[in-house]
Amino acid sequence: MTRTFIALEMNKALQRHLSGFIHQVAPVLPGMKWVNPQGIHLTLAFLGELDDDQLQLLSAATRQAASQVAPFTYRLTRPGIFGSPRQPRVLWMGIEERTGSLTQLHRLLQQQLKQRDFPVETRPFSPHLTLARGKAPLVPGIY
């Protein structure tokens, strides 16, 4: 079994930019567990533990969806959080892709996964890059 997700990798320039952002922000938010900038990615689907047969089905679904979308670029927008400001679960960086191709890719991928009986996300697609996860409530007054 393999823990599996489908994601877009960041190029080196974006990794360097996000590394600089993390380096600036991490000292003022010590209650966060920061990700390695080289591993930052844009998750399109998380599928959990899959066996080899499921991985083959997943690979076919991914290829099918990707073949229907033209190449695109995106840019970073602004940071944000999931959770409350006092106890953020996730600190993230937003993504903007103006042509709609990223959303189309996500929609097509969800269709392909559903056709192959994989579970699909029911929440709206919110493209973002996870930068840190909250470990504990933030301590008032030190930030």
Q: Where in the sequence numbering do the catalytic residues fall? A: 41, 128
Structure tokens at 5: 């997700």
Crossing angle (nearest 10°) for helices 101-115 and 52-66: 140
Distance, in Å, from the CA atom of 16 to the CA atom of 18, rounded to the nearest integer, reads 5
Short-list 103, 97, 105, 102, CA closest to 74: 97
